[in-house]
Structure 1
Amino acid sequence: MKVLIVGGGGREHALAWKISRSPRVKKIFCGPGNAGIARLAECVDIQDNNIPAIIDLVRREKIDLTVVGPEVPLVAGLVDALEKEGYPVFGPRRRAAEIEGSKVLAKGIMQKYGIPTARYAVFDNAGQAKEYIKQLAAPCVIKADGLAAGKGVVVAEDEQTALAAVSDMMENRIFGAAGRQVVVEELLRGEEVSMLAFTDGEHVVPMLAAQDHKQVYDHDRGPNTGGMGAYAPAPVLTPELRQQVLETILVPAVRGMAAEDRPYRGVLYAGLMMTDKGPQVLEFNARFGDPETQPLLMMMESDLVDVMEALIAGELNKVDLRWHEGASVCVVLASGGYPGPYNKGEEITGLADLPENVVAFHAGTALKNGRVVTAGGRVLGITARAAGIPEAIELAYRGVSQVKFNGMHYRKDIGEKAINR
């Protein structure tokens, strides 16, 4: 069969890597792809939100399955457009993807269906938001309503930071239309963990728990990023807590979305805070996380194509989702200056020298005159699988030590929270 992957980041490289291992897949296309994906797939110069061009490609190449990676084309309705043309596609439809596309909608769903989350208020007026923050007293969290590439959340430990975040989002519009409304919510304390699940709208099959590292510097310091590394499984989510998350968060979310005429089919991602009151939802995402996908797919033993096709057919209950023993760790290598301004076009060396059981998943890379160069803020996800978390950490950082590019920086503490447990 022929598969098209939409997107061009580390998540999409991991999807291409996993899908390429299915004996049923004869050819993979990817639009737009990157330098790493180009080794596994035919990369097509199509942006992930160019719906007419994607439909033309699917029609022309007789694609059997389209897999949509990023949130922007999901929220724009790419799945709806392909389904309307009769093409099989993996991912939630537009109205379902709004659980990520609108923080206001997501909080409303959680409140209505009793899903544990932080107390909150919604504002479309900056002055009213600031007055509320002054009455609330810090700390609090300010969230832009719409999509902001993983950067639309400010954790404000003091009132000044919170007020500045409202000004940036609502008055200076640093995230454009995404900041027309903001959510102000109480700050939850605890350890973060990501729980992803496949769902066909009725059945919900959870994956391993994973832990992302959002802040740019070691020990969770500095501004939020799209993610500086991840590992799976995350021991903070014990088997008992995984069952609790399934029963009190994931299943109610899927049932609630169905009741709201937003049937959900695809990957549902719950970003959780493990508080002293139990797991509470920080956010829902409508797709595979990045960089959680990299270790999760290295740990997945089952054929991902079989899982996706069963999900599309509404037969997810017939799938036995199998996982390898051990653990996997991903360390993100970022461009100098990220998450602020950064250079592009820096040559990357050492990719051919990685140890066994280590994969360099490309994110912001490109080919230039036969050389692999940087082309984004997050450049590579060096991902290892080993017998346990300590071994996977050691192996991943051994891989990191082989790779070089000008300005490269990365966190040196990925997985430490698991060791400390």
Structure 2
Amino acid sequence: MTPVESSLVELFARDPREPGWLADARLEALARFRARGLPTSRDEDWRFTSLAPLAPVVLERTRPADAEDGAAPVAALLARAPGGGGPRLVFVDGRLRPELSAADGLPAGAVVASLAQALRETPALVKPHLGRLARPEEHAFVAANAALMADGGFVHLPAGATLDAPIVLVFLASGARPALSSPRTLVVAGEGARASVAEVFLGTDGVYLTNAVTELVLGEGAEVEHVRLQDESRRAFHVGVVVAEQQAKASLAAHALSLGGRLSRSELRTRLVGEQASVAANGLYMADGERLVDNFSWVEHAVPRCSTTETYKGVLDGHSRGVFSGRIRVMPGAQKTVAYQMNSNLLLSDDAIVDTKPQLEIFADDVKCGHGGTVGQLDEAALFYLRSRGLPAAEARGLLIYAFAAEMVDLVRAGSLRAAARDLVQARLPAGARLLEAA
């Protein structure tokens, strides 16, 4: 085993206060991880992404004192996180900070709480769903998360519940030590429920691993917007796996904005199991220097008359590398499926690399499916036009890059989440401070 794999195994500890079913699930997940180990480039789904930079890292446990010692940096991170006036839970180094959190104004029967609290107080709401979609036997990072998760978010929306303000789950990393954070989030939306849920990952400078797993259970006719904003330390490692299941007429809009991390991977896996379900998967990824950012999606159409739209954009500079691998599988009998994939990339240097692999696996004959990918550079004519109007070179480049990226930001429906995403993206651009002032 590599040092990081050994340290993950050594971090496992049994909690005698846990219910037996959860303790058993942890032990099984640990066994799965030990047998499987972390993926390598020999695994098809990881063919373009090497975990070699992570292999020598020895991970440690976070301690409550870490967050206390890093109070000032944590406050600065929290100032960058979206609010919006709705429920917000704040976790620092994987631990809920109640004094920074609030879950008021919920409709009757709705629950927004930490997962640890929900396991103590409402286990009947958690047990039927936790681990049902994200299965340790299918994914090494899911297995590690299932064995080592300590806390995370729990959202339960009863049938017909509607939230106008987004639910925001903020995960902050103090960067005090090479620590592991394993947040686990479970969102259960009942029949006809409507809400926006955001997971925000921010970190101070440091080497650490965030291994996040999210399960989304959408009942018939539920409408959920799920937004992941990831702007971790430039030396950190981040793996985020979102697994969803959608019943009839359920609608999922999933946005993944991957901006930080030395090596990051964002995954979306969803099954459409009820007719007329739909998913819109949107992603924006940005990298520079020697950083690598990977996006993976897997959508299975199990029944007829469902639709998928995937749109991912990447902005790559320096010697960075971007990866997009998207797979849409149309199962036998899933007639009248409509599915499209598009991946567009903007390369800002001659040394940046992108690997794009949109895929369709179709086992039905009455479908409308397509995919495509583009790789290009900044339009020199447009750049010359802006320079001729008096804009400095850095601002002109920043405006053109943002014009390319803004399509993905503007797809976020919740206004406060869209504004936060815009600010994080613009801060990554040339002359970003000036662009923020102009906005």
TM-score by length of 1: 0.27
Higher helix share: 1
Higher strand share: 2
| Higher RCO (Cα < 8 Å, 6 or more apart) | 1
